[in-house]
Structure 1
């Protein structure tokens, strides 16, 4: 199995070393293997974990929920129902956030249109 140094993991994942260290320190990803000298060696599985955790975080999932989801992933690989529940709840939150952002974007575009058409409010 191929493994990577932290620098290689940073390059391959696109995450900063600080972000990777944080995810490891708070236990959002499983412990990474170490060499006899104590240096971390990341596998493709570790990189997939990092990618998933980062995706959830970037999509606004709270750290406590990511921690819960991560524990579910590590404790019982056969029980997907609880993991699906966590993901479905977050999916609904993300969809609602996207809808709010679309509403905001439409308002911004309408304002841009008023400026471009010369019909902007005089008191704005």
Structure 2
């Protein structure tokens, strides 16, 4: 039983607008149309849409995804090329994760720093090295703001 675009939107979490946009951009040439022109999606189409969503979520540009879809439509003759695309995207995601971990380390440090500053009542009493986020945050007791 084919799915309507509305049903696919509910199943995938994508809006009908996004699905139509992806179709216009050539990302879903595999979707058949009824005699009246309505898109008719299959479970296999849903799997492919999930892959498109994954690739988009990893930062791949729509033009690159379209090239991948075109290769997939050509069949097994393009297996090696598609594998290489996945390997490249895998490396890109690993680099994103590494950069995100650096950002998270910086945020963790800042949370510890500002927690200590709130406890001390001033930033002036707090010392630490943002470039060495694992180092302890130290509160200089002499600079602590005395509270009544």
TM-score by length of 1: 0.89
1: CA distance between counterparts of 2:35 and 2:71? Answer: 30
What RMSD in Å do the two structures reach over aligned CA positions?
1.6
Number of corresponding residues: 121
1: CA distance between counterparts of 2:84 and 2:43? Answer: 26
2:112 maps to what in 1? Answer: 113
Do residues 99 (structure 1) and 98 (structure 2) align?
yes
Counterpart contact for 1:24–1:31, Cα < 8 Å = no
2: CA distance between counterparts of 1:64 and 1:38? Answer: 25
1: CA distance between counterparts of 2:100 and 2:123? Answer: 24
Residue segments in structure 1 that go unaligned for 5+ positions in a row? none
1:60 maps to what in 2? Answer: 59
2: CA distance between counterparts of 1:5 and 1:32? Answer: 11
The worse-fitting range, judged by mean Cα deviation, of 78-87 and 15-24 is 78-87
Counterpart contact for 1:29–1:53, Cα < 8 Å = no
The worse-fitting range, judged by mean Cα deviation, of 92-101 and 32-41 is 32-41
2:5 maps to what in 1? Answer: 6
CA-CA distance at 1:79 after TM superposition: 3.4
1:51 maps to what in 2? Answer: 50
Larger Rg: 2
- SS of equivalent residue, structure 2 residue 76: coil
CA-CA distance at 1:15 after TM superposition: 0.7
TM-score by length of 2: 0.75
CA-CA distance at 1:31 after TM superposition: 4.0
CA-CA distance at 1:78 after TM superposition: 4.5
